[in-house]
């Protein structure tokens, strides 16, 4: 392969930051000076300063930013924040300011947004850099994979409950039941609620309760488990696991589940059962990943939507 006459440079972390900073500055058009390893506003004279010394930085404008915001919102599993941010994007004026102001009320999601934006801009810079590496005859390079668990580790703490947590945990349980009620017909929800109450007695303080707290000390989620039967040495029951809607999509539920499993494993427990009908659907993959196996589940047939009882009798 014939190499170009461009001045070659290594994309160090410092240069990567320099280029992404220039991309965000909408006040001017920038070029990267490979000789001085810095970005500078393009004024037209740099093309005469030495062949291949200057590289136009990748494009990043309001269209790129808006499309990224749309992708970010579409992936959110937090229904409260998702609807607020969708409203901001469809407002037609002051979109970027409204988007940022809403995110400030969700510090964890704000960090997630900045992480996603940084990753996208880094990807664009690496694609840009690799076009030049192709011309130089070198192998392509890529960014190091990000640790998605960092947000949870940085912004949340996990601990076992104390007596003051019992009331907030019960409030969380009731909130998730009410959320379930909104998605089911009233009669069906009453039956599901009866099953849920049968699966877990009112909290007494004897359970193993793990709570997740945000940086400001707000209870964000919880996992409740206990031995089953009460004096069992080998079997335990996961009675409840849930996260408030405004904290979803960050991995809190997964972390609570992992920590609960590990806690019972350390105690020498062999079996962990989960039989509550009020479990978020997105937990299915986490349960499979940890090795939970189906031993029955709650299934509901809507008799009004398909075959009637009389039709079944003719079979």
Which alpha helices (DSSP H) does the chain contain, by range? 13-24, 62-75, 79-89, 95-104, 107-136, 150-155, 166-182, 186-199, 252-266, 284-290, 309-313
The reported pLDDT for the residue numbered 3 is 45
Is the pLDDT at 76 greater than 50? The verdict is yes
Q: Assign 236 to helix, strand or coil.
A: strand
pLDDT at site 33? 92
Cβ-in-10-Å burial (0-12, 13-18, 19+) of 63 comes to exposed
Model confidence band, residue 282 (pLDDT cutoffs 50, 70, 90): low
Would the pLDDT of 115 be above 90?
no
Which residues have CB under 8 Å from 107's CB, separation 6+? 155, 214, 215
- Provide the pLDDT for residue 177: 82
Q: Is 130 exposed, middle or buried (0-12, 13-18, 19+ CB in 10 A)?
A: middle
pLDDT: is 110 or 299 the higher one?
Answer: 110
Is it the case that residue 127 has pLDDT exceeding 70? yes
What would the two tokens of residue 315 be? 């079979």
- Say which residue, 175 or 150, is predicted with more confidence: 175
Residue 84 has pLDDT above 50, yes or no: yes
Structure tokens at 34: 């490979």
Domain 153-290 sits in CATH 3.40.50.2020: no
Per-residue pLDDT at 85 exceeds 90: yes
Share of the chain above pLDDT 70, in %: 80
Q: Which of 76-80, 97-101, 267-271 has the lowest mean pLDDT?
A: 76-80
| pLDDT confidence tier of residue 313, bands split at 50, 70 and 90 | very low
Whether 68 has a pLDDT exceeding 80, the answer reads yes
For residue 183, what pLDDT is reported? 75
Domain boundary assignment for the chain: 1-146, 153-290
- Round to whole Å and give the CA distance between 79 and 243: 12
Using CA atoms, how far apart are residues 136 and 151, in angstroms rounded to an integer?
A: 38
Mean pLDDT of 211-238: 86
Q: What is the pLDDT of residue 192?
A: 78
Residues composing the chain: 315
């Amino acid at each position: 392969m014939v190499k170009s006459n461009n001045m070659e440079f290594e994309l160090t972390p410092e240069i990567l930051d320099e280029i992404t900073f220039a991309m965000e500055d909408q006040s001017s058009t920038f070029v990267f000076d490979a000789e001085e390893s810095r970005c500078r506003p393009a004024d037209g004279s740099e093309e005469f300063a030495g062949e291949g010394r200057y590289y136009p930085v990748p494009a990043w404008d309001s269209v790129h930013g808006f499309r990224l915001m749309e992708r970010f919102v579409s992936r959110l599993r937090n229904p409260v924040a998702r609807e607020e941010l969708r409203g901001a994007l469809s407002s037609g004026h002051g979109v970027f300011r409204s988007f940022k102001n809403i995110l400030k009320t969700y510090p964890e999601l704000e960090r997630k947004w900045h992480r996603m934006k940084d990753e996208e801009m880094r990807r664009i810079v690496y694609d840009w850099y690799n076009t030049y590496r192709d011309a130089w005859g070198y192998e392509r390079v890529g960014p190091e994979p990000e640790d998605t668990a960092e947000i949870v580790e940085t912004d949340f703490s996990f601990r076992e409950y104390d007596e003051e947590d019992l009331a907030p945990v019960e409030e969380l349980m009731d909130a998730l039941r009410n959320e379930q009620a909104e998605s089911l017909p009233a009669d069906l929800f009453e039956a599901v609620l009866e099953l849920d109450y049968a699966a877990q007695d009112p909290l007494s303080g004897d359970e193993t309760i793990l709570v997740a707290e945000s940086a400001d000390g707000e209870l964000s989620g919880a996992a409740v488990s206990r031995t089953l039967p009460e004096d069992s040495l080998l079997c335990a029951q996961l009675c409840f696991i849930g996260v408030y809607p405004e904290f979803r999509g960050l991995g809190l539920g997964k972390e609570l589940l992992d920590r609960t499993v590990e806690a019972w494993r350390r105690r020498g427990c062999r079996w962990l059962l989960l039989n509550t009908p009020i479990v978020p659907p997105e937990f299915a993959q986490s349960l499979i990943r940890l090795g939970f196996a189906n031993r029955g589940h709650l299934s509901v047939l809507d008799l009004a939507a398909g075959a009637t009882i009389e039709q079944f009798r003719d079979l």
